[in-house]
Structure 1
Amino acid sequence: MNKKTLFIVISATLLLLAVCSISISAVSASVENPTVIITDYQIYPEILMPGDIAILTITITNTAEAGHAAETEVRRVIHTPPLITTEEKDKRV
């Protein structure tokens, strides 16, 4: 795993943790019945070279019966270093 791929994986993980901590005030889900799941992810371009810019899009879906947003899409433009921009949008039910 090269540094660029490792950077993308770490950035995606940190982004996911940030979104989950903002979106969910109290988590009481069990492993058998998760209420927040990653339903889709995309990275463009799929193959990166050192110094390339990539767009990582993660779709997080709230499957709980009660909640504010049913689906949140987070898009981050990744460049080494720094992260350039963040765009978030909620799809309200």
Structure 2
Amino acid sequence: ALIDVSVNVRLNEDVSVKVYPNPFEEMTTIEVSGKEYQELELLVFDALGRLVETINSKDENRIQLLRGRMRQGVYFYQLKGNNELISTGKIVVQ
């Protein structure tokens, strides 16, 4: 199955998404401001579009992504809030 991972798309103009640091070595933070979400879900895909990480967060507008087994390179993410797509983007692991 192919998944569209268009880069740097913000679907709700009232919502701001920050990813820091980016590029990162051990951990990066994805933070949402402008709206409160009961549930956030981060989906991380490799350059071939394969899902490599899923992280869920409840009642907190930030998600911390640990490098774990992710190798150096470019990854793409989809960030969902309350099951709606908020943002897509690119993260770089050094």
Give the TM-score, by structure 2 length: 0.32
Name the structure with the higher strand share. Answer: 2
Structure with bigger RCO (C-alpha 8 Å, 6+ apart): 2
Q: Which has the larger Rg?
A: 1
